[in-house]
């Protein structure tokens, strides 16, 4: 929502993340946005006890490839959660719709196929200004929100 700061959370309400291992797949497309999302996620994981050496980063070309990258990490069976970070911005064609649908369904499918949770951290905005606002701008950072989700979901196992 446009009125919700994505970076607001209660650190005391989180489970212990000290021994958690988190894989993060980052799309290179819209790299200025995805790198901000990654920095927000990494900082949040570190602040909540995840050791730097327990965070693995994997780059893929674009958001469509996040599914394969996440599956690659999931197949290693060494992570407590995987975060898929991407950004798709509406253009003049239907490409936006196809990519958004495929990525959301693909990540949903990974959550059904694997016992390790995959967190959806893909911005699907109408314009670049919305992406900036949600990747460290005036609405916070969706990467922070997804890191919190990863910690919570990893603790369910």
**Residues with active-site annotation:** 95
> Could you tell me if residue 91 is left (phi over 0), alpha (psi between -120 and 50 degrees) or otherwise beta?
beta
DSSP state of 126: S
What span, in angstroms and rounded, lies between the C-alpha atoms of 34 and 18?
25
Q: Which residue has the tokens 């490409």?
A: 95
What span, in angstroms and rounded, lies between the C-alpha atoms of 157 and 155?
5
Helix (H, G, I), strand (E, B) or coil at 27: strand
Asked if 84 contacts 70 with a C-beta cutoff of 8 angstroms, the reply is yes
């Amino acid at each position: 929502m446009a009125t919700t700061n994505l970076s607001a959370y209660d650190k005391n309400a989180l489970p212990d993340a000290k021994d958690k291992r988190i894989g993060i797949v980052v799309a290179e497309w819209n790299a200025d946005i995805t790198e901000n999302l990654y920095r927000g996620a990494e900082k949040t994981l570190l602040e909540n006890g995840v050791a730097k050496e327990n965070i693995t980063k994997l780059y893929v070309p674009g958001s469509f490839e996040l599914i394969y990258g996440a599956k690659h990490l999931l197949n290693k069976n060494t992570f407590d959660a995987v975060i898929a970070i991407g950004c798709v911005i509406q253009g003049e064609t239907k490409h936006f719709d196809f990519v958004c649908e495929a990525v959301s369904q693909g990540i949903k499918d990974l959550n059904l196929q694997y016992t390790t949770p995959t967190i959806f951290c893909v911005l699907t905005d109408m314009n670049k200004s919305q992406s900036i606002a949600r990747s460290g701008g005036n609405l916070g950072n969706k990467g922070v929100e997804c890191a919190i989700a990863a910690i919570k979901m990893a603790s369910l196992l």
